[in-house]
Chains A and B, each alone.
Chain A
């Protein structure tokens, strides 16, 4: 792409998501103008109301596949895209909304919406890669501006992006934070989560929530054992993995069968009846 004299046509599209990753693109304030000079941005809902039908040299896809229309749309987009890049926890892992996968649509829809019959959703929320071939991914909730900058630079220069597959612990120790598991007894997912956030949560004395999803060789079983040793039940320890990347294996397997939260049926129905 870097070799073409024409500016590559770039699209940014969203599926089920909060738009936070798109905002991260806008957060690249220092480079934004330079980027628009080098890329022809033809689709970007958070930045412009112009819409294009493609084709795209590069398409950044935000959001999970949650309804039947999105399945159709992602196949359509794929067909019109050379390099399809999924960005953020929703697109790469299903996102926070994938936690509904442990419940039944009928149960939660009737407790949330006044008229659930208007709803047309899939039984399972899934990442984009479950439906079409994905060429690259940027992890995180939201994605890291540094990763995005590195990725775009690498595309322009024509080299492989340097996005290390290492534990959050490496960033945490480079920054000099004492381990919150060891010194605080917190249930931190850092040892099994891919770096990229700069160890944001440990920096504030909190355990990692796993926003960047599982790293390579994640030893979820051993980490769950540690949480149990710190006083959590097996189910509570497993539910620590129920965050923004809950649907990504092996986090998914650690989560108890009855789901990431207390079963939604009993709890919320009881509450609404009482009201």
Chain B
């Protein structure tokens, strides 16, 4: 959420409806032209307001994606609508502004800027979202290292009378963007809240207090304050929270190749209406006009749009030639790269781009389709989540995998644990020893069974490794975020395992094979130090016989039984002919093996957002509370252990993080 600071306590002053004209009179007396809402061309637009009669008294706007209609209600409200097609940038950042002049006189050429001459304006009826938009444009155009002098001058010459929203438009989503329906941003001089019989008034700025002092204000009284609070709260309630913005910038950039961009481009007209009605969009072009001989020319800054054909064009071609390129540019700028550039979203949730899209494309839906929040694929319910609580699991049988690795087949396991998803882990304990995180190497919910393949690495795992059948262990889980199997749908799949790293991948392979037609080619590569260090050999042998799975195995050091390839696992696909550009990869093994694998996969064209690795870290609590397993911004136990390379960034390749 963007910063939501109420700059003033609740208003306590009240302006009777009959006295609204006194506000206009005071503004006019200051020599200001009042710009405010008025009905024109079938819409409530912002234009010059001469008197109260110019305001849209009794008018309502009915909005839907691609649709806007006015309706008349039987009341006296002047601000009973949401927002119309005009945004305040028409007055702070006009569509055409002459900015410079060039003259050629013989051999002498001169250039001179055109100095702004801003009119003294009062903006009446600025909504919470719109004030936030003005503040965003302030950051872009007036508060950065470079300033647009015309914009800055116009802003300085204007004062802002904000009006809180007491009706909700059907395309509004200020609540998600943290900009309304209350006035939440700073920058208003006067703030009004419309009630049945008048307006609550507060004055957050010196200019506003000076103005308020000239109005016939009375004490509002507790009832009116309550009415105002309730009206705005009802708007918040009606809008709800349609866009999950937490983490949205990152999610969006991870979906640059989402097929939805092409799909939305079939509906999108690339007509630029969304950007032109947007209160924050600031893209322009400079048009030059000259006299017939080119002796004098004027440069004019003109509203343009990333949807225009010429916008990303160079002599050799167009960098964003297709509609899908332009839609992606717009949406990712608004909701991701704007944050990097200017520290906030480029969207305030006013809903104009939805209402005024001639084909009704709803940015709320597109965002949720392209960058849906993570792990809404509900995590299986974990049991015994607290670090001190465990549920029992009985060891039905054990199987030696390698000299130091044993698989425990647990039965009578809590069904919620047995219903975990591939890549998840459990905390396992025996009395007297610390609990250790173990990835589940097979889920068998129908038998209430899981398998744990445990390598004896320390005292705790050593004890687990030696437990005989019939023993009982304590379990907490299933924990963490496993392999995103759904990311593989419709794509080729590459699974690369190093040694015991095959164990956390085994449930993934089970899941792929159980629903085989949903995926493209499935290729599994396994490498081990020696033939004897290969776990799950019977599975490997069974998979080798399948025609719908390509399996290749290698060892670092062969023995007399080994007839297969020798070398590191990446050699298995160094020279392969398959194209990785549309594939998804799942990788698990020692960290160095994973790094080498990732490099090779990247060489094959796989994207960072489609390469998933499972990380090992020191985990104690398994639920993101103890702090041991932090990796950058992540708790590996809670946010992982499976991550995309894109999520991890440099944290994956740098040592000591």
Contacts and interface: CB of A to CB of B under 8 A. Distances in A.
Q: Do A and B bind each other?
A: yes
Interface of A: 31, 34-35, 38, 150, 152-153, 156-157, 159, 162, 164-167, 169-170, 173-179, 181-184, 188, 190-192, 205, 215-217, 219, 221-223, 225-226
Interface string B44-83: 0100000000000000000000111100000000000000
A180 B59 CA distance: 19
Interface residues of B, number: 50
B359 A173 contact: no
16 contacts: A31-B292, A38-B292, A153-B291, A156-B293, A157-B293, A164-B310, A166-B308, A167-B271, A169-B276, A173-B95, A174-B276, A183-B85, A205-B41, A217-B321, A219-B269, A223-B358
Given A166-B304, A166-B310, A179-B68, 8 more contacts: A35-B292, A38-B292, A157-B294, A173-B273, A175-B95, A178-B41, A217-B309, A217-B322
A217 B323 contact: yes
A174 B96 contact: yes
Given A157-B290, A167-B269, A173-B273, A215 B69 contact: no
Contacts of A166: 272, 304-305, 308-310
B287 A162 contact: yes
B300 to A, nearest CB: 11
A191 B84 contact: no
Contacts of A162: 287-288
Identify the 5 closest CB pairs spanning chains A and B, nearest first.
A191-B271, A173-B276, A157-B294, A174-B95, A178-B43
A162 B297 CA distance: 14
A226 B269 CA distance: 11
A180 to B, nearest CB: 8
Residue of B68, B277, B287, B308 with most partner-chain A CB within 10 A: B308
A188 to B, nearest CB: 8
A145 B277 CA distance: 28
A34 to B, nearest CB: 5
Contacts of A35: 292
B86 interface: yes
B309 A173 contact: no
A31 B66 CA distance: 43
Interface string B587-631: 000000000000000000000000000000000000000000000
Nearest to B270: A217
A210 to B, nearest CB: 13
A165 B309 contact: yes
A184 B470 CA distance: 77
Contacts of B84: 178
A178 B68 contact: yes
A153 B358 contact: no
B42 A222 contact: no
Nearest to A31: B292
B266 interface: yes
B288 A219 contact: no
A176 B44 CA distance: 12
Given A176-B45, A182-B66, A219-B269, A150 B289 contact: yes
